[in-house]
A and B are shown apart, each in its own frame.
Chain A
Amino acid sequence: MSVIAVPEIGAPVEARAQSRRLPVISLGIIATFVLVAILAPLISPADPYEQALRLRHRPPVWEERGSWSYPLGTDRLGRDLLSRIIHGARVSLAAGVLTVLVASAFGAAVGLVAGYYGGRVDATLMRVTDATLSFPVILLALILAVTVGPSFGNVVIAIAVILWARYARVIRGQVLTLMQLDFIAQARIAGAGAWRVITRHLLPNTLNTLVVLVTLQIGYVIIVEASLSFLGAGIPPPTPAWGGMIAEGRDVVTSAWWVSFFPGLAILLVVLAFNLLGDWLRDTLDPRLRQL
């Protein structure tokens, strides 16, 4: 006698419902950091630039020499770490969001045009995309930093100049599939020109993908920006940037671990939150995008 195991119907449904549940923790972390960034001047307990050399490397409040005036301790110039992390949230989030917006707008435009026109236009644009993808972001940013000097604007440009290519490639792939569908042909037969087909028919159908990609990439950009700042090619001091703050604590990790630890923790939390949110969005909006 053979026994056929019939999977219980209840179980997978429940698992699915769970993945559909709003990622409250991620959203909470992101919302908190966004609020903190917006309200930074109001809520930061001290001036992030104010130095107090006599109070260098004060530990966080729960350590022996810690005090409530510096809840997370101070760095080597005696600046309040909590205030610097709060202001650093502005830099990181602004860099992340701005870069991704610039990159996605440009990349999506390239992808839409390449996919719509096909042929030689497509081939040319895609070769440029491939070339771009093969260029390391960090190297380009270092070159920019050395030649034009490090600044917030240059960081955004350096990352966006490389990052758009991913959008171009993914969106072009989607457009190629969409172009096979009759409603595009129908729109063209109805007299719609290239602009109308691209903006009214192709773009709205790629928005799901764009949203997923944007969310996943914000975390990535925050990491890249932090790496650049860590290397000294990013946001120049004394502006508080998380990556730069980690670099400042590098030499004293054994004696004053908090200087590097807390900015690192902030990066970890934000990036993790964006990645989890992105995963959730992908599973919900567009499960075909598993490979992203």
Chain B
Amino acid sequence: MTAVLTPISSRRRATDRAARGVTLALTLLALVPLFLILYFLLKEGLGAFSMSFFTTDPTGRFLGNAGGIRSAIVGTVIIVGLATVIAVPLGIGVALYLVEYGKQSRFANAVRYFIDVMTGVPSVMFGLFIYIVLVVAQIDGTFAAWKGAIALSLLMLPVVARSSEVVLNLIPNALRESALALGAPRWRMIFRVVLPTALPGLVTGSMLAIARAAGETAPLLFTVAFVNGLSANVGQRMNSLPIQIFNDVSQAQDRLVQRAWGAALTLVLMILFVSLIARLVQRRSRLQP
């Protein structure tokens, strides 16, 4: 009888070790930039942190007290908040149409295709588009926070729509059918059964879109522009963290460059916070992909 179970050959052992080693080395290499970013962010950014850093606005002075980043934080919250209010209901509405009504119709598939195209559009394009149709055209003045919010919402829309569609598709058809079999009109089935069941997933998808939009610079650059002072008027220019970083980092003064690092760390922490909430909500979800 020939041997059925043979001992592992030394060649197999060597190949296995080599494959393991190469993939591990590539993984470590990929982690290097990530850790460098985190290292510099913490090293330079933490040095900028102080109480007044968060409680004062930039002064615009090159010499003397440069001020903090309060107006940038407030501006980012306002602009991203407004963008969320626009993009989330719109995106969930699109997803509901695709999953509950459009299904595999030609129109629905065309919409899916365009959403994918829109996801791939560079963010600077959204900024340019709003710059031309709202800023240059001088609709309600020139630069304004609400215009930047629209540019950001265009960026968020495909992300929200796609992630919501995935979540809605996870809902078992049996739930829809049992609601319809009780004599529910389709809209009531959607509002009472589909949306409540999908809610945690919809929140998570929206949070991730918010996290992505909060760090975008290009859509704000020529729509909201820049201002030092604190403002809550969305019809005016407004400061924001990405723009603050963009401006400060190109200055010659070390103090301003350090403020850019501090603002960058603040932005990363804010995004991390939103992502963490998204994770927590996801964990509570009953739908597992």
A binds B: no
Q: Chain B interface (Cβ within 8 Å of chain A)?
A: none
